[in-house]
Chain A
Amino acid sequence: MRMADDIEGPTFALTKEWVDPSPGIELVEVHYVWGPLGEPPDWEGNQTAVATPLDAGPPPRRAAPLELPRFVDGATDYLLHYFFFVAGGGAQGSTPVFTEQIGTREVRYDDPGNRYTNVGVAWTVGESRDPNYSVAALDGLAFSGADDPLGSETFTPIFEFVQAVPPPHVFRGRVWGVKGQPVTHAFHLVRLGSPSGDDAERWDDNDGKGWQLTI
C-alpha cells in the first residue's frame, strides 16, 4: 500500500519544544526535513507540525510532535534539519535552520533464567512524553526481533524456537534519538505461548524512572 506523504519504513516520534520569547506570539510551526549525512536540506516537500500549548506559562511553552524515519537510505545515522515559523501581531519570521544528527544505540537485556520469549523496548527521546517501541532480537535467533520494515512492532509466538537457543539469553534492541541527547527506555518482558500456561508480561523500568542513555 502506497500513501501520499508516506515515510518509508518504521518511524519514531520526537518532540520539539518552543518557549515564547515575547508576548503576542500566536502561531509556532516546525518545518522539518531529513537527509543523508553531509547533504544540505532540500525544503521541497518539507514536513510540518504545529506546536500546541504545553502550558500557559509565563512564558508559554509549546510542543510539536515530529515523526521521523528510523532509516534513511538504509542508514540509521542521518541529519534532521528544522526551523520554527513564528507569527503573531502582524510579524512573521522563521528561525535559523537547526541541524541535528539522528543516531541509534543498542540496548541489551540479559535473561539468564531463560524466562522470556519476547522483549520489547519502549523509549522516549529527550523530554518527550511520546513513547516509541522497538522489538529486541534474541542472540542466536535473528528473526525473533529484527526491525520490521513495516514497523508493525508486534510479537510472534516463538516459544519453542526460544527454548532451543542455549542460555544465557541476551536480547538486543535499538533506540533512536539525537546525537548527544538523552533517551529514556524500559524493557517490556513477555513470555508467550508457554505450553504450561505460565505466560507472563511485565515491565523492567528502573522503578518507574526508566533507564537512561545518551545517543
Chain B
Amino acid sequence: MTWYLRREWVDQEDGIENVTIHYTWSPPGGWPDWERNHNARMLVDAGGFPRRRWKVLRMPRGVWDEQGGGWSLEYRLHFFFEVWQQGRNWHTDLESQDIVYRDMEYVDNEGWVTHLCAYWSVYDWQAPVYSPMEDPRFPADSEFTSERYYAYQDKDRYSFFKSQMLGQLPLPHHWRSRIWAPRGAPVLQQFHIGHLYPPEETFETWLGPDGPSSPGGSHWVLHL
C-alpha cells in the first residue's frame, strides 16, 4: 500500500489564478531527472484570505536505485510550484526533502489482538494512512493476511481463522509495519487495534500514549 503527503501553498500576493506542484523522486542524495519522471498536479483552491491551496500527493514506498541495483526504501522528493499570476507564470525554487522510513512494531504479550493497523499521518491528520500490521511469522500466502482482510467477504470467517492461526504462533506476537515521512517532519500515529474473535468479546480502539481513544485522539508524535 502506498502513503500520502499533503502539500500546501498560501498566496503571498494578489492575482494568483492557479498553482501547480511539479515533483519527482530520486534515490538518496540524487538530483531530479525531469526527463524520466515528472509529475504535475494542480492544487485544490481552498479559498480564504490569504487564499490557501493544497494537494495530497500519492507517495511511493521506494524507488529503484540503478547504481545500487535494487529498491531503495528511502529516497528524495524534489518539488517546485508553478504559479500563474496576472497573465504570466513563474516558478519557485526547487526544494528537496529526504524521505525516510521507520519499521513500527506492536508487541502483544497476551495474544489478545486479532487485527492491527498503524494509523498515521504526516504533519496533521488530513492525509492519513492505515498500514495493516502482521507478525512476520504469519504465512504471507495465507488468505488470512492482514492486507486481505478488507476484501474478504465473510469477515466472521476471516476473524475465526485469523484468531486460530495466531493462536498457533508462540507469544509474544510482534505485529509490524512500515511508515514513511520527510526526515524530521512530525508523524502523528496511533494503533487501530482490534479483538474481533470471539464475537461476544469484539472490541476495537485507536490506541495512543494515553490509552484507548478515537481516530486522531491520543497519539504519538514521531520524527523519523
Identify the closest chain A residue to B125 (Cβ): A52
Stretch at the interface among A107-115, A130-138, A158-166: A130-138
Which residues of chain B are within 8 angstroms of A46 by Cβ–Cβ distance?
150-151
CB of A199 within 8 A of CB of B155, answer no
CB of B62 within 8 A of CB of A133, answer no
Which residues of chain A are within 8 angstroms of B108 by Cβ–Cβ distance?
none
Stretch at the interface among A70-78, A147-155, A173-181: A147-155
Whether A56 sits at the interface, judged by CB under 8 Å, is no
Which residues of chain A are within 8 angstroms of B223 by Cβ–Cβ distance?
none
Which residues of chain A are within 8 angstroms of B152 by Cβ–Cβ distance?
94
Which residues of chain B are within 8 angstroms of A94 by Cβ–Cβ distance?
150-153, 155
Question: How does the 8 Å CB contact mask read for A186-214 relative to B, with 1 for contact and 0 for none?
Answer: 00100000000001111100000000000
A46 and B34 alpha carbons, distance in the complex (Å): 28
A129 and B42 alpha carbons, distance in the complex (Å): 11
- Known A-B contacts A1-B33, A153-B20; the reply to A92 vs B196 at CB < 8 A is yes
Whether B44 sits at the interface, judged by CB under 8 Å, is yes
Chain A nearest Cβ from B188, distance in angstroms: 13
Whether B137 sits at the interface, judged by CB under 8 Å, is no
- Known A-B contacts A26-B215, A201-B89; the reply to A3 vs B34 at CB < 8 A is no
Identify the closest chain B residue to A42 (Cβ): B151
Question: How does the 8 Å CB contact mask read for A53-65 relative to B, with 1 for contact and 0 for none?
Answer: 0000000000001
Interface residue total, chain B, C-beta cutoff 8 A: 57
A185 and B55 alpha carbons, distance in the complex (Å): 19
Identify the closest chain A residue to B152 (Cβ): A94
CB of A2 within 8 A of CB of B56, answer no
Question: How does the 8 Å CB contact mask read for B84-102 relative to A, with 1 for contact and 0 for none?
Answer: 1001110000000000000
Which residues of chain B are within 8 angstroms of A26 by Cβ–Cβ distance?
206, 214-215
- Known A-B contacts A27-B192, A90-B204, A153-B40; the reply to A201 vs B88 at CB < 8 A is yes
CB of B88 within 8 A of CB of A27, answer no
Taking chain A's interface residues, is the majority helix, strand, or loop, or is none over half, making it mixed? strand
Whether B194 sits at the interface, judged by CB under 8 Å, is yes
Contact of A6 among B60, B196, B203 (CB under 8 A): B60
CB of A131 within 8 A of CB of B24, answer no
A52 and B1 alpha carbons, distance in the complex (Å): 18
Contact of B84 among A5, A150, A201 (CB under 8 A): A201
8 Å CB interface, B113-145 against A: 115, 125-130
Question: How does the 8 Å CB contact mask read for B18-42 relative to A, with 1 for contact and 0 for none?
Answer: 1010101110000001101111111
CB of A52 within 8 A of CB of B33, answer no
Chain A nearest Cβ from B213, distance in angstroms: 10
CB of A122 within 8 A of CB of B42, answer yes
Identify the closest chain B residue to A13 (Cβ): B41
Whether B67 sits at the interface, judged by CB under 8 Å, is no
CB of B2 within 8 A of CB of A151, answer no
Which residues of chain A are within 8 angstroms of B2 by Cβ–Cβ distance?
5, 47-48
Which residues of chain B are within 8 angstroms of A27 by Cβ–Cβ distance?
130, 192, 215
Identify the closest chain A residue to B148 (Cβ): A43
Whether A87 sits at the interface, judged by CB under 8 Å, is yes
Closest 5 CB pairs of A and B: A3-B60, A2-B64, A152-B38, A43-B151, A1-B37
A-B CB contact pairs (8 Å), 17 listed: A1-B26, A1-B33, A1-B63, A2-B64, A5-B58, A27-B130, A27-B192, A47-B2, A52-B125, A91-B202, A92-B155, A93-B155, A122-B18, A131-B45, A150-B39, A152-B40, A202-B87
- Beyond known contacts A154-B40, A188-B18: 4 more, CB 8 A cutoff: A50-B128, A52-B125, A92-B204, A94-B152
